[in-house]
Amino acid sequence: MKRGHATAKVLRTLKVHESTYYGRKKREASHTEERASCGLKGRPVPGFSSTNTGRKVADEQIKEWMLELLEGEEHVYGYKNLALCLRRQRGLILNKKKAYRICKELGILQKQRKKTSKHPRRVPRNRTVTGVNQLWQIDIKYGYVIGRQRFFFVLSIIDVFDRVVVGQYRGPVCEAKHVVQTLCRALQERLNPGDNLPTIRTDNGPQFVSKLFGDTCESLEIVRERIPPRSPNMNAYIESFHSLLERDLFSLTEFMTFEEAYEALDRYMDFYNNRRMHGSLKSMSPFQFSKWVMTLEDRSKYHRAV
């Protein structure tokens, strides 16, 4: 059509209905007008970068890596050298312009780093989990909607003892407020009045180091632990669940829309909690194991050292 061919003829050849073609053009024009009315210029931010091998990495994951660098000896670097570290360590294709934007969003440009956190990191301690609702691990995983070329976020909360995913959020963005809402909902649904509150363990993602999340845990009197950088083994149970999610669902399915991805995830979660067998749970599902183990007088065989 750009070469002068009649639109109707091209659409007939491609077997595309005119209503489909013009409907899409109308939606694209509307989206452009919305961006212009909001003062947004140029193409929209894609929300990801790529590695040298072609793997897409969500901006939220890049932010987490940036914060991990600042927890270590790389805290002396500015945004240019932080980007260089990620290129060398992660194979990430990241230019200085995008590195500056990400650091600015995080509030970690060098002149702004003097501010100390109101909620300093509490390092996880070794413990033995002897029952449910003693230790919950939280993490975020990224899915991809190929039809929109956008990531979506899956926030999951797992009980270390019985492997039940007690709370989950999925959406096109995942901010501290979504973490707080999901945690509060899980506490309401999982605990009875008078029950002790679980310890919460997370990594160093921006949602988990935020003031809102820290203030919420403090107001609820929840003990909150953050694992050291580059130590995913300290959050092994949630990491294991997200590996299952990748293997069982994300790696096998190409999602064309967000709605399609969310529906598939909801079906999988019903399967996981209620019917999926686990070798470490005597080949029961998490809910089945949780009910069964509470009937035992001696549960010491199923204590978890973490």
Separation CA 173–CA 60 (nearest Å) = 9
126: pLDDT confidence band, cut at 50, 70 and 90? confident
Answer with the residue of higher pLDDT: 266 or 232: 266
Which residue type occupies 149? Q
Q: H or E segment at 35? A: helix 18-37
Residues 97-116: tens digit of each pLDDT: 999 999 999 888 876 555 55
Residues 285-299: tens digit of each pLDDT: 999 999 999 999 999
pLDDT of res. 7 = 66
Instruction: Report the chain's mean pLDDT, rounded to a whole number.
Output: 87
Pairing of strands 199-202, 135-145: parallel
**Joined tokens for residue 144:** 């991809």
Residues 10-50: tens digit of each pLDDT: 566 665 666 665 555 555 554 444 444 444 455 556 688 99
CATH tag, 128-305: 3.30.420.10
Instruction: Cite the residue boundaries of each domain of the chain with CATH code 3.30.420.10.
Output: 128-305
With beta carbons less than 8 A apart as the criterion, state whether 46 and 52 touch.
no
Residues 196-225: tens digit of each pLDDT: 999 999 999 999 999 999 999 999 999 999
